[in-house]
Structure 1
Amino acid sequence: MARDLLPELFDRIEDELDGLTLAPDGLRAVVDGRFGEVTVAVEHDPEEEMLRISAAVPPPAGTGRSFLVWCLALNAKYWDVKMGLDSAGRLLVHSDLDAEDDADIDDLAAAVVERADAVVDLLDDDLVEWLLDRDLGTPGQRERWTARAAQDEVEEDE
């Protein structure tokens, strides 16, 4: 029988990811980032011996073909996080990790946190900046994205 990694991971990372919960279908953390409130999912496929860390958001309205080109370019730029579409047509930002039964759980937990941060960073930094540069998003979104960028700069200076 395959090892159930999710409860072990939960015990090690619950203090690292805000609002982390253990559900029957995986771990879930609600992150309030610059992009907005995003649910980061951690799912384990024991047969494939892998973990997927992901966040799914509605695709940005009005983006068109240039957005697809940008996604492809971003996939070539980052080796640890990729973008695609899920079965519901949402933009899926994901990262896959090898998770063999004999994997060191502490190393795996550290990698999960690192990849969850990378997923959120791609949304908060790369995607938001691309949308702002093209004046896309609702007025409320653009206001949030600009305000959060200023807030993040102040926090970095402190």
Structure 2
Amino acid sequence: MSSSTTLESLKDEFTSYGTVLHAKIEQKSDDEFFGFVKYENPDHHFGAITHLNGKVVDGKAWTVSHVYKMENKLERHDRIKEAMDEERVLYVSNLCCQVKDSDLENVFGGFGDVIACHIRRHHDGRSKGDAFIEYATKESVVKAMSAMEGKSIWGRRIYLGLGKIN
């Protein structure tokens, strides 16, 4: 977000989609700023993501996505294993290396509640071209697979399957 974006203007943009309980702006570097918004009703973030992602505010295009709480590695592993056992994880391959987690959340979020999205990366940070998308329900995975099989994202035909632990 732009350095000229104020807390007031951040709240104004997000209030259109629900009651904002809390908002803050953090500065990561001289020219990198991030805004965080918490809604009274957590479901209101879907409308904000849909309508505000990519919107240009104060001269900068916003990337709007869901922020997940940090969890320790053991908790994360257990949660992912459970989701895979329940067939709630979609595997997507042949992704363009510039695709971000937020892009996938926007594309696949229409099929159900996305719990987490993770693009696999090499040690140097480059994308490996595949990702795992964890949904709240198995039905969402089925919907996504039916709708997206054979489709393209950013000009590349994607391939889909169930996420598995080797």
TM-score (normalizing by structure 1): 0.32
Higher relative contact order (CA 8 A, sep 6+): 1
